[in-house]
């Protein structure tokens, strides 16, 4: 069943989409790709190898320094219209040390959208271990897990 679903979705996007050239003009669209039907975080090792790097879990250690963030430094975004030094220090800390942060989640979708969310969850999210969409408050009652995994290149 899953194979047919994946094949059907690929055929659909080939029908309504358009070809792109990932080697040149559309290279900005190149993204990591999983080699198995379950995505999870198994693609990270292949992506690290592609860049000549290694994967670490982003946690703070004596040798690695502070906890990893979504960005190594907010200043890499500095330019016309943005100055990282003007950010609230808490926002900057979140982006630079994301792995050190913890949050509680409470969610609730409008019941009108539950069928679409449930369809995505059943057809894709649970199987590929990506795109999990908590729709009701108790969906996250047992908590949820998220880690910052860092690819360190040469």
In this predicted model, what pLDDT tens digit does every residue of 24-70 receive, in sequence order?
Answer: 989 888 888 777 767 777 788 888 888 888 887 666 554 455 788 88
Average pLDDT, the chain: 82
Which two structure tokens, joined as six digits, stand for 100?
A: 């050190």
Confidence of residue 83 (pLDDT cuts 50, 70, 90): very high
pTM over 0.85: no
The span from the CA of 58 to the CA of 91, in Å, is: 18
The span from the CA of 35 to the CA of 37, in Å, is: 7
* pLDDT for the residue numbered 59: 62
Residue 30 contacts by C-beta under 8 Å, 6 or more apart in sequence?
A: 22
Pick the residue with more confidence: 76 or 117? 76
The span from the CA of 139 to the CA of 118, in Å, is: 12
Which two structure tokens, joined as six digits, stand for 29?
A: 């669209």
Pick the residue with more confidence: 120 or 81? 81
């Amino acid at each position: 069943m899953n194979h047919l679903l994946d094949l059907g979705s690929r055929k659909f996007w080939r029908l309504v989409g358009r070809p792109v050239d990932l080697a040149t003009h559309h290279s900005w669209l190149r993204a990591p790709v999983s080699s198995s039907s379950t995505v999870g975080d198994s693609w990270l090792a292949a992506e690290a190898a592609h860049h000549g790097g290694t994967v670490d879990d982003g946690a703070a250690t004596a040798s690695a320094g502070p906890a990893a963030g979504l960005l190594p430094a907010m200043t890499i975004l500095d330019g016309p219209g943005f100055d990282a030094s003007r950010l609230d220090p808490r926002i900057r800390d979140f982006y630079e040390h994301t792995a050190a942060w913890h949050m509680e989640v409470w969610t609730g979708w409008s019941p009108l959208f539950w069928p679409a969310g449930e369809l995505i969850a059943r057809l894709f999210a649970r199987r590929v271990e990506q795109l999990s969409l908590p729709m009701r408050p108790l969906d996250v009652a047992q908590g949820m897990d998220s880690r910052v995994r860092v690819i360190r290149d040469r």
